[in-house]
Amino acid sequence: MLRNLITSKKARIGIIGLGYVGLPLAIEIATKGFKIIGIDIDKDRVSSINKGVSFISDVESAELKKYVRKNLIRATTEQRQLKHCDIILICVPTPVSVNKEPDLTPVIKSTHWIRDNLRANQLVILKSTTYPETTDRVLLPILEESGLKVGRDFFLAFCPERIDPGNKRYGVANTPVIIGGVTKKCTRLAAFFYKQFVDEVHPVSSPRAAEMTKLLENTFRNVNIALVNEFAQLCERMGGINIWEVIEAARTKPFGFMPFYPGPGVGGHCIPIDPYYLSWKAREYDFHTVFIELSARINEEMPYFAVNKTIEVLSRSGVCPNKAKVLILGMAFKRDISDLRHSPAIKVFQIIESRVGQVKYHDPHLPEIDVDHRKIRSVKLTPREIKKYDIVLIMTDHSAYDYEMIVKNARLIVDTRNAVKDGPRVFKLGAGIS
């Protein structure tokens, strides 16, 4: 019955959580003619969506408006709307606590909503990144409290999200998806639904395998970034070796090497968070995920490393760091997006403010940011403004920047991203100070 509803595009889709994952997904599913009900606890987001105004950089407001007008996308805060949905996708945050322990509160809350509205022939798909065993040991028991049986009455699967905000080449449709259902029927149904709007679907034998796949992907990135960050630190220590030159040389090898780049730390909702879900779970099995701990140690040190480099450059140039004026360029955690979550630039801002001198920032995608509950506005990036600072610290290499103009007007530059050409006043992270 659900298959028929999917084939005829009559299946109603519910998406819980309309953020970086949920909203682009809603658009992609709507392009195929499905009706979507988005459910979010954030009233502002709900009303913005219903007005066709996007708050996610990868989603154009014009496109959202088109589907809202066609009545294909509608948002609400009302959980009881879930009753009208045939397929429900959970795309809520999976943060960690201050002690880096998984916080499944939003996922569990969403699952309670679904349980209270569960009926026969519904398919539930968890998208949020989480530790292995969440789908079958946390969600399943809650959903079966409804009296309905998985694989017979309703269907449950895990399908990790792989979206890479800001990536122009790979989006929802052309990024293959992994699906692991609680039963074979669950996998088949979830895969059949996904094939309606995604080019390639790769089923695995269980939700646990799918959950672990996502954590392997993100831990792989985390570990490799930590590895090049350690190499960058060593290049600094040895002097005379430029990590950026070394990586460019290494990547000429056509096999067995994949380039990762150093930087001032890792950010976003995935790379700094997800590995902790795995290390926490592993402890239940008397297992210590050494690579995860080691990578966290190196990557979390990088904002401090970037600040120390800035202090060293200032001192060597005869500027007293305590009296220095520092301009940070780029606050978002990566290029060309406005996502500030866990951005190392925030940490750097805080360290400079508390231990060094005055600090201001510019980010073309973030006109205003929140630092320690204070609203701070981006300065205007003009030659005159740049000249006011003792040093410019490039934290995020947005492509909108006019780097020639920046180099021409800055007194000193610390470049943590290899964004500008080498020059007498340019000091690159991972390149030592000669």
Residues forming the active site: 270
What's the closest the beta carbon of residue 259 comes to ligand NAD, in angstroms?
21
Interaction between residue 17 and ligand NAD (CB under 6 A): yes
Interaction between residue 390 and ligand NAD (CB under 6 A): no
Residue 259: strand, helix, or coil: coil
As a whole number of angstroms, the distance between CA 225 and CA 241 comes to 18
As a whole number of angstroms, the distance between CA 257 and CA 202 comes to 25
Describe the strand order of the beta sheet including 12-16 as a list of residue ranges. Answer: 73-76, 35-39, 12-16, 87-90, 123-126, 155-158, 177-181, 201-203
Stretch that binds ligand NAD, among 80-88, 105-113, 296-304, 376-384 (CB under 6 A): 105-113
Interaction between residue 41 and ligand NAD (CB under 6 A): yes
Residue 73: strand, helix, or coil: strand
Phi and psi torsions of 71, nearest 5°: 70, 20
Give the per-residue contact string, 84-103, with ligand NAD (x = CB under 6 A; - = no): -------xxxx---------
As a whole number of angstroms, the distance between CA 133 and CA 299 comes to 27
Residue 278: strand, helix, or coil: helix
Which ranges of 93-159 would DSSP assign to H, the alpha helix? 105-117, 134, 140-144
Stretch that binds ligand NAD, among 35-43, 118-126, 234-242, 343-351 (CB under 6 A): 35-43
Interaction between residue 58 and ligand NAD (CB under 6 A): no
Longest dimension (CA), the chain: 75
- 178 pairs with which residues across the strands? 202
Number of CB atoms found within 10 A of residue 240's CB: 8
Among positions 29, 30, 40, 295, the unique one binding ligand NAD when judged by CB under 6 A: 40
Interaction with ligand NAD in 329-348: which residues (CB under 6 A)? none
Interaction between residue 269 and ligand NAD (CB under 6 A): yes
| Those residues with Cβ within 8 angstroms of residue 349's Cβ, 6 or more apart along the chain or in another chain | 328, 331, 359, 361, 371
The length of the chain is 434
Interaction between residue 19 and ligand NAD (CB under 6 A): yes
Give the per-residue contact string, 122-151, with ligand NAD (x = CB under 6 A; - = no): -----xxx----------------------
What's the closest the beta carbon of residue 55 comes to ligand NAD, in angstroms?
9
What's the closest the beta carbon of residue 110 comes to ligand NAD, in angstroms?
5
How many binding residues for ligand NAD (CB under 6 A)?
A: 27
What's the closest the beta carbon of residue 317 comes to ligand NAD, in angstroms?
38
- Which of 20, 193 has the CB closer to ligand NAD? 20
Residue 368: strand, helix, or coil: strand
Residues of the shown chain interacting with ligand NAD in the complex, contacts defined by CB under 6 A: 16-22, 39-42, 45, 91-94, 106, 109-110, 127-129, 161, 163, 165, 269-270
